Amino acid sequence: MTRKSASFLFPVIVILLAGGCGGPKYVVWYHPEKTLEQAEEDIANCYFEAFLARRQNPVPEEFDKVEKDPKAGIESGACECMKQGGYRRISPQKLEPAVRMKSGVVHTMPYSIAGK
């Protein structure tokens, strides 16, 4: 593994571990009334709003390095946004067979979603 790929993987691993909002290791955002396309649009909007909020409200200097991590702050904001939108984190094994899933990256942040 090259140094460049290792430096890229470290933040992704940290986000994946912390990004579940304290939930199970592999979960997807799911709203039973939303299509996969709607979920994809919602998660993109949530990350965009979280990114803007983070830029407008930087973390004060007295916070430690973990609290200052911009990706962790963006992930936390996006997580709250999705919850407010009626989404919940669910294990893919608990989804109905007809539900579609998708993983991707938006604004450099990885995500996993599910929808009709």
User: One digit per residue, pLDDT tens: the chain, 116 residues?
Assistant: 555 444 544 454 444 444 445 444 789 999 999 999 999 999 999 999 998 887 776 655 555 554 567 788 888 899 999 999 999 999 999 999 999 999 999 878 899 999 99
DSSP state of 96: -
| Model pLDDT, residue 53 | 85
Q: Exposed, middle or buried by CB within 10 Å (0-12, 13-18, 19+), for 109? A: buried
Please indicate, yes or no, whether the overall pTM of this predicted structure exceeds 0.75: no
Please give the tally of structural domains in the chain.
1
The contacts of residue 36 (CB under 8 Å, 6+ apart) are 100, 101, 102, 113, 114, 115, 116
Provide the residue range defining the domain that includes 12: 3-115
Contact 110, 19 (CB under 8 A): yes
Q: What is the pLDDT of residue 13?
A: 45
pLDDT (0 to 100) of residue 16: 45
Distance CA 39, CA 95 (A): 15
pLDDT at 102: 96
